[in-house]
Amino acid sequence: MIDCIVVGAGPGGIVCTKELLEHGISNTVCLEQSDRIGGVFASGYDNLLLTSSAVFSMFSDFWIGDGKDHHFWTKDEAVDYWSRYADHYGVKQHVRLSSRVAKATIGEDGVWKIDLESGEVLRSRRLVLAAGNNRIPRYPDWHQSLTGIQILHSRDYRNANAFQGKRVLVVGGGESGSDIALEVAKVAARSWVSLRRSTGWIVPRKREGRAADISTHRGIWDLPREFGVPLSKLVLKLERARMDPVFDVLATLNERVRNPKGLWGTYGTKTLALPQAVAYHGCTVVGDIVEVREGGRFLRTSDGVELDHVDAVVFCTGYVNRVPFMPEELQSCDPRSLYKHMFHTRLRDSLAFIGWARPGFGSQFPIMEMQSRLCGGVFSGKLALPSSAEMERVANLDSAMFLEQFEDTARNIRSLVDYHRFMNGLARVIGCHPPLLKCFFANPRLWLQLMYGPTQATQFRLVGPGKKPELAREILNKLPISTFNHIVKAGLRGRVKYGLKALLPRVIEGS
Ligand SMILES: Cc1cc2nc3c(=O)[nH]c(=O)nc-3n(C[C@H](O)[C@H](O)[C@H](O)COP(=O)(O)OP(=O)(O)OC[C@H]3O[C@@H](n4cnc5c(N)ncnc54)[C@H](O)[C@@H]3O)c2cc1C
């Protein structure tokens, strides 16, 4: 019997296997259906460039290499980093490539039976699902009427070669949708992007040569979420003042975000690709498709625009949240019903989901690592889960908090969480929140880093279970700190506005 089986060797499966090993669960096997590690990034589109910077994307205890402070990885660089990380922490010996899980069932004795496609059967007391939820394409209903034109989902898109000289509609304007819209707009005869509502809040990857996500720091994100409205107004004013056609389009698109929490009530779209497509490559943003004629050759939008002689539609409409090899009742498990988006309240410590929490801003990788640390702690018996009733209460509280913040967006994207609130909540459960007050007096340089450097994973290695204080300090010392820019100034103004409530950084967020 194996102690733990991890399904998937994407970043989530790799970091979880590493944490399980570090927690002493050495009889761990990580099953991967493809012939290489890296998940989405091992197979994504040719020009895939990450939207979170390397310092934000890195795992807490494995340095990215000097001189990469403001760098954004290509998909190959990301896979290379995880590969070196897996080598360094002895993960590779535990990964079995080309091992596809066909079926997972749990017996009355609580043992998981894992049937591989090869016919082999494995048994384990614990299962980690790190199989990703970017597998099964989601389409709007009208896609079935597209019988006379070419259709493609972003999952299968590699490059724009097939769209040279064509008339192409891209549906959806998230990060992949924006990147694809720009590539298509550059070569197509005519291109459109259809958006149901907004495209999230667009921010550039870089500002003045520096990674923009350095500003995802406690100096601003520790403020109450209603501050998102004045913050949004300020940012819009500054973007307009640039008098730059790309930033004008960006501001026009961002003005469509009508959430009471402003930019903090939606997700970030961290690429200028869509504004560039519109400003320089003739792409037009249109509304939702409401009518399909002649098998898709003619389309009409909710804002009355007629798209004529359409050759192709590229759907960047996300994925269905389903794991087909799991038992029926777990196949479409709602992440919001899980304790910390990872533990099932009935199956408790026999099953963990890794990667089912997607942050509005920030990065998914530090969240996967924190979840993996919690998983390692619980599976090794060093941390105890609360009672099932308490797990359910906490899941409901977290769910209510994120539904209040993100409204309809959180109803549609069931994995959507607020990065800072979620990470702080996990840190409280693990006991590894950085000691801000102590640092303020004892080590002001470190405090400055914790407050005004990116809130990435290493901050959570200073104290508590799994702490690596020397390595953490060494890495944190190398990380960039925000300049005294408009975000830092807005944060200081916010602290004055909210008075004592915000004067000291709030250590505990969420439930
Ligand atoms: C195009 C794109 C770009 C993104 N860019 C960023 C970014 O810049 N920053 C960021 O923070 N997040 C980003 N994300 C979001 C998120 O970080 C990624 O989706 C990430 O890959 C999720 O990691 P994962 O390990 O959970 O899943 P995946 O990467 O999907 O890996 C899951 C693995 O499980 C394997 N698997 C699935 N089913 C089985 C089975 N039955 N048997 C065996 N193995 C199986 C798959 O082959 C795969 O290797 C991006 C997502 C996409 C789609």
Last residue of a domain, one of 272, 297, 318: 318
Q: Is residue 494 part of a domain?
A: no
The average pLDDT across 41-59 equals 96
Residue 52 binned pLDDT confidence (cut-offs 50, 70, 90): very high
Residues 280 and 203 in one domain: yes
CATH number of domain containing 417: 3.50.50.60
**441 in a structural domain:** no
Q: Which two tokens stand for residue 146?
A: 């597209």
* 479-495 per-position pLDDT tens digit: 999 999 999 999 999 98
- Whether 145 maps to a domain, the answer reads yes
Q: Has residue 258 got a pLDDT over 90? A: no
Residue 445 has pLDDT above 60, yes or no: yes
Closest ligand 1 atom number to CA of residue 319: 53
Question: Do residues 171 and 274 both lie within one domain?
Answer: yes
Tell me the two tokens of residue 360.
Answer: 């509005």
Among protein residues, the one with the nearest Cα to ligand 1's atom 21 is 40
Where does the pLDDT of residue 503 fall: very low under 50, low under 70, confident under 90, or very high at 90 and above? low
3-state helix, strand, coil in the chain (%, to 5): 45, 15, 40
DSSP 193-219: EE-SS---EE--SEETTEEGGGG-SHH
Structural domain span for residue 293 = 137-210+228-318
Do 385 and 331 lie in one domain? The reply is yes
Give every CB contact of residue 119 below 8 A, 6+ residues apart in sequence: none
In this structure, are 119 and 202 located in the same domain? Answer: no
For residue 12, which atom of ligand 1 is closest to its CA? Answer: 25
pLDDT at 197: 81
State the DSSP string of 246-258.
Answer: HHHHHHHHHTT--
Kindly state whether residue 219 falls inside one of the protein's structural domains.
no
For the stretch 157-181, pLDDT in tens is 999 999 999 999 999 989 999 999 9
* pLDDT tens, position by position, 360-383: 999 999 999 999 999 999 999 999
Residue 250's Cβ-count burial label (10 Å; 0-12, 13-18, 19+) is buried
Identify whether residues 55 and 93 lie together within a single domain.
Answer: yes
101 shares a domain with 155: no
265 lines ligand 1 (CB under 6 A): no
* Total of domains in the chain: 2
CA distances from residue 33 to 99, 131, 328, 474, 477 in whole angstroms, order as listed: 5, 10, 21, 37, 39
Domain endpoint, select from 401, 435, 469: 435
Measured in Å, residue 321 CA sits from the centre of ligand 1 at: 13
pLDDT tens-digit readout, 280-318 = 999 999 999 999 999 999 999 999 999 999 999 999 999
Would you say the CB of residue 325 lies under 6 angstroms from ligand 1? Answer: yes
Nearest residue by C-alpha to atom 6 in ligand 1: 50
Residues 161 and 273 grouped into a single domain: yes
Let me know whether 264 and 330 are in one domain.
no
344 within some domain: yes
* Residue 286 bridge partners (DSSP): 194
399 lines ligand 1 (CB under 6 A): no
Mean pLDDT of the chain: 95
Specify whether 149 is located in the same domain as 292.
yes
Q: Check if 48 has its Cβ closer than 6 Å to any atom of ligand 1.
A: yes
Does residue 504 have a pLDDT over 60? no
Percentage of residues in the chain having pLDDT higher than 70: 97
**For residue 184, how far is its CA from the centre of ligand 1 (angstroms)?**
24
Last residue of a domain, one of 435, 453, 484: 435
Nearest CA to ligand 1 atom 3: 50
Q: Are residues 274 and 380 in the same domain?
A: no
Same domain, 51 and 111: yes
Q: Specify whether 282 is located in the same domain as 348.
A: no
